[in-house]
Structure 1
Amino acid sequence: MKIRTRLTLLFTAVIAMLLVAFALVIYLAYSDNREEEFFKRIRQQAITRADLLLNARVSPKTLQIIYDNTPNALSREEVAIFDSTHTLLYHDAVESDLIKETPEMMQKIEQKKQIHFYEQGKQAIGFIYYHNRKPYLITAAAYDAYGFAKLHRLGIILLITCLVSTVFIFLAAQFLAWQALQPVSQLVQEVEHISATKLNLRVQEGNRKDEIAELGITFNRMLDRLEQSFNAQKAFVSHISHELRTPLAAIVAELGLASSRDRSLAEYQQVVQRTQDDAQKLVRLSNDLLDFAKASYDETEIAFKPLRLDELLLDAQQKVLKQQPDYKASFEFHNEPEQDEWISVNGNWYLLEVAFANLIENGCKFSADQHVTVGISYSQQFTVLEFKDHGIGISPEDLPYIFQPFYRGKDHPTITGNGIGLSLVQKIISLHHGIVLVSSQPGSGTTFIVKIPHL
């Protein structure tokens, strides 16, 4: 069921129930009022009859004649008058005797002074009437044909009104639902025109105040993120293609030259060495790309557990020195941890080892002495690691872009690398809810500061 239909039916049902409730209140209120008014009228008629009998001294036979000749008066009300000893003084219709005045009824009237009840579908009343300080018991009963006819007509009018109103409410609800959801329909039509080749398109944001406008604004923000991600993916693929093409082309060229004619053993060894260097570049690039992909996983898909950072840094140091024996890395504790948990974090060993190895290798690579110092300190919330070198530094022009994938500084193009390391570091530290800061002065060295929440 569409939202428009659901809203229409819901709105119609709610308003219809309110109308029915309102109609029932009117009907029941009128019914109670009719009943109360009719009890008053038959009491008044009974008192009039008693006045004629007791005050005007009209004989019972004359009153009977008057009663017989007024057949429509108050729907043939029957009145009975008794004295204090329960002796019948007058009765409008002794033959029918609608109200069977039992001793219990008479006693009840004397106790309560006045009672209301129904007898054979007719309203009846019993009360005490005083004349010359003498009590008389009077009963009267009648059927309110006129009042019930009006009540019946009122019920029909209310029923028809509710039905007709429900139809109009349904039509109005359809119009209002269409009016309210029209911006959503327009939004759907605009979204259908957006595709992978048209990510620059945006939906209308309306008045930027209501909920539909908020939906449009949120959707446009999502499109902005998708477009940025899509462009980043295209740039990433382009960089990968370029990085792969360069060593592969070099390998093909070297092998082609080597096979073009006979060469000496030394020349063949040089070809093999250059080919091996290019193959190592491919291996390093492949490993970096795999690590980059792992760091791009959803956090919920990565296994985290408590780790000691000092042990992890030692493993990262050994990993770097195994590949580059000339590199050197030393560790300094700036302050002693107050608790063992301050040296431990909740993380993934493999990814953090890759990040720290990249920072150590990066510092050694760009330093003349190939040495990096790792400082370790703590705060109430973070474990802080400082990777400091005394190398060539980073120029102010390059500094804003060093964490972008495949970005390489223009001042040192001869130093090998593929531009993935620092972007990989930032992704890994972000996965661990940490931050990476950098400060550098050209010619004076660079310091990378890593802050990771400890246990």
Structure 2
Amino acid sequence: MQIRTKFALLFILIATSIVITFSVIIYALYSNDQKKEFYSRLKAKALTTARLYSKDVKEINYKLLKVIDKNSVNSFPDERVVLYNILGLKVYSSPDDSNIAFLPPELLSNIKLHQEYYSNNNGNAVLGLVYKGSSDRLIVVASGYDKYGNDSLSFLAKTLIVACFITVIIIGLIGFFFSEQALKPIREMVRQVENISASNLNLRVKTKNKKDEIARLAINFNEMLNRIQQSFEMQKSFVSNASHELRTPLTAMTGELEVALLNDGSPIEYKEILYSVLDDVKSLNNLTNGLIELNRANMDVSFFKKYPVRMDELMWQSRSELLKRHPDYSVSIIIGNFPDDENKLIINGNHILKTALINLMDNACKFSPDRQVHVSFNVSDGLITLAFTDHGIGIPAEDLKNIFQPFYRAGNAQNFSGHGIGLSLTNRIIQLHGGNMSIESVENDHTTVTIVLPAGK
């Protein structure tokens, strides 16, 4: 069942329940009022007859009372008033009813006990009461049929049923109309979403109203599409660049080995070819390791386990490991603000953070003629700041905006070994640790890479 139909049926059910409830209440109140009104009329008739019969009104005799009862304009169908003395013996009846000479004992006892008795069954009402005159006491029993009240109730019931039926139809039409209008933007959004596929991720869901919930849903969906499109483009770029970077050393190795097989060279020449192939293998190994690290850095954060890491110790470990690989490098560390509380040196990190520090030191030394990098270490206001400064080739201003893209290399770095993975990997690692990374550079002068990480366990 469609949501539109569900909404409409729910609307009809609620509205119908309300209409029926109010109709029942109206009918019950009117019925109760009719019974009270007929009771008042019946009681007035009984008391009037008893008063006229008793000795309280001397001008009225038995025959005159008969005439008055017979010609009363306020009588109702099956009207009958019977007067009994205190012993239950009938003394007057209007109209004459010789069949009931005595009042039934149970009814007599009930009237005497409660001074008044009344019942109304579908309009057939019976009222019994004790009339206390100035000189005598009478038991008055009045009965009649409330034809007018029953007819009115019957007409009201039919009117309410027809009104409910018509109201339900109108409410149903209104419910379907408004559910159609309310869900129209969603249907339009569904239609637009159905046209979006992997081949046209540039399409977006259009929104007319920027404030309602559906518009916010469309905006959030568009933002999700932006992220998906960005991921697709990054994946395509990654695959393309990775394929190119992997092909280059493999092509070089293939060419060198083919040349070696075609020519009969000396052992020295073969040794030189093997050294060249070994360099290509190392380059291929470094590229593969870089791709693995980049993939790990881009994994879901929920799988990225963290534990306490002391940053000053990690920095010294990174320096030692880099110098073992490249003894010709020079890494000087300058300690600035150093806290007394060692907890301020600890961050929630992962061993992959060492990869980021080594990459920054390695890049600085590799692109500097003197193979030197100066690292400043400062802790303040709950933040750990590391700045890596070198005096090398620098980065052109037009390349700075793309420097964090995977496989991107600045124009003046093409003659240096590398694959353009390091800075992209490092930036992602810093982001995973809740930090940020920035670069300030002047071409052919210096480059300073600054990372800021939150301190504390």
The TM-score with structure 2 as length reference comes to: 0.87
Distance in 2 separating the partners of 1:204 and 1:353: 45
Match of 1:108 in 2: 114
Q: Give deviations 1:392-432, integer Å, cap 9, x for gaps.
A: 32222222221111111112321211111111111111111
1:99/1:119 contact within 8 Å kept:
no
Query: How far apart, CA to CA, are the structure 1 residues paired with 2:386 and 2:314?
Result: 12
Q: Quote the Cα distance in structure 1 between the aligned partners of 2:104 and 2:441.
A: 113
Aligned residues: 449
Partner amino acid, structure 1, of 2:20? V
* Map of 2:379 onto structure 1: 378
1:11 is aligned to 11
Residue of structure 2 in register with 1:151 after alignment: 153
Mapped partners of 1:98, 1:206: distance in 2: 83
Pairing partner for 1:286 from 285, 288, 312 = 288
The change in CA–CA distance for 1:199 and 1:56 in structure 2 (over 3 A counts) is farther
What TM-score results when the alignment is normalised by the length of structure 1? 0.87
Q: For residues 14-25 of structure 1, what are the structure 2 equivalents within 5 Å?
A: 14-25=14-25
Q: Distance in 1 between matches of 2:157 and 2:289?
A: 85
Q: Are 1:177 and 2:179 an aligned pair?
A: yes
1:64, 1:196 → 2: CA distance?
Answer: 102
1:174-225 CA distances to partner (integer Å, 9 max, x unpaired)? 3332332233223222222221112222333234444333333333333233
Contact 1:98–1:141 (CA under 8 A) maintained in structure 2 = no
Is 1:223 aligned to residue 229 of structure 2? no
| 1:337 is the counterpart of 2:339 | yes
Task: Check if 1:47 corresponds to 2:28.
Answer: no
Deviations 1:294-341 (A, max 9, x none): 111111012111221222223322332232222232333312224222
SS at match of 1:398: helix
What SS class does the counterpart of residue 397 from structure 2 fall into? Answer: coil
Residue number in structure 2 paired with 1:302 = 304
- The AA in structure 2 aligned to 1:79 is V
Give me the whole-angstrom Cα distance separating, in 2, the residues matched to 1:241 and 1:262: 33
8 A Cα contact 2:395 2:447, kept in partner: yes
Report how far residue 82 of structure 1 moved: 6.8
Cα distance 1:398–1:116, how it changes in 2: closer, same or farther (>3 A)? farther
Q: Structure 1, residues 243-291: CA drift from partner, whole Å, max 9, x if none?
A: 1121111111111222221112222222112211111111111111111
9-18 or 145-154, larger mean C-alpha shift: 145-154
Q: 1:266 to 1:178 in 2, by over 3 A?
A: same
SS of match in other structure, 1:433: coil
Q: Kindly tell me: are residues 37 and 240 of structure 1, through their superposed partners in 2, closer, same or farther at Cα, counting changes over 3 Å? A: same
Q: Is the 8 A contact 2:50 2:138 kept in 1?
A: no
Query: What amino acid sits opposite 1:251 in the alignment?
Result: M
**What is residue 437 of structure 1 aligned with on the other side?**
438
Q: Which residue of structure 2 lines up, in the alignment, with residue 327 of structure 1?
A: 329
The answer on 1:255 being equivalent to 2:257 is yes
CA distance in 1, matches of 2:393, 2:104: 121
Q: Identity of paired residues, percent? A: 37
Task: Find 2:318's aligned residue among 316, 319, 333.
Answer: 316
Q: After the TM superposition, which of the residue ranges 219-228 and 337-346 deviates more from structure 2?
A: 219-228
1:37 is aligned to 2:37: yes
Counterpart residue identity of residue 441, structure 2? S
Secondary structure, aligned partner of 1:75: coil
Instruction: Provide the rounded CA distance (Å) in 2 between the counterparts of 1:372 and 1:86.
Output: 127
Give the letter aligned to residue 216 of structure 1: A
The two structures, once aligned, show a CA RMSD in angstroms of: 3.1
Retained in 2: the 8 A contact 1:429–1:436? yes
Contact 2:389 2:448 (8 Å CA) reproduced: yes
**Cα separation, 1, equivalents of 2:70 and 2:121:** 21
| Deviation for aligned residue 1:63 | 4.3
Moved more, 281-290 or 243-252: 243-252
The code of the aligned residue for 2:118 comes to F
Q: 1:435 to 1:149 in 2, by over 3 A?
A: same
Q: Please tell me the residue identity of whatever aligns with 2:315.
A: L
Counterpart selection for 2:274 from 272, 275, 286 = 272
CA contact (8 A) 2:111 2:117 kept: no
Q: Which amino acid aligns with 2:45?
A: Q
SS in structure 2 of the partner of residue 391 of structure 1: coil
- Residues 98 and 119 in structure 1, CA contact (< 8 A), matched pair in contact too: no
Distance in 1 (CA, whole Å) between partners of 2:121 and 2:22 is 31
Cα distance in 2 between the residues matched to 1:231 and 1:299? 21
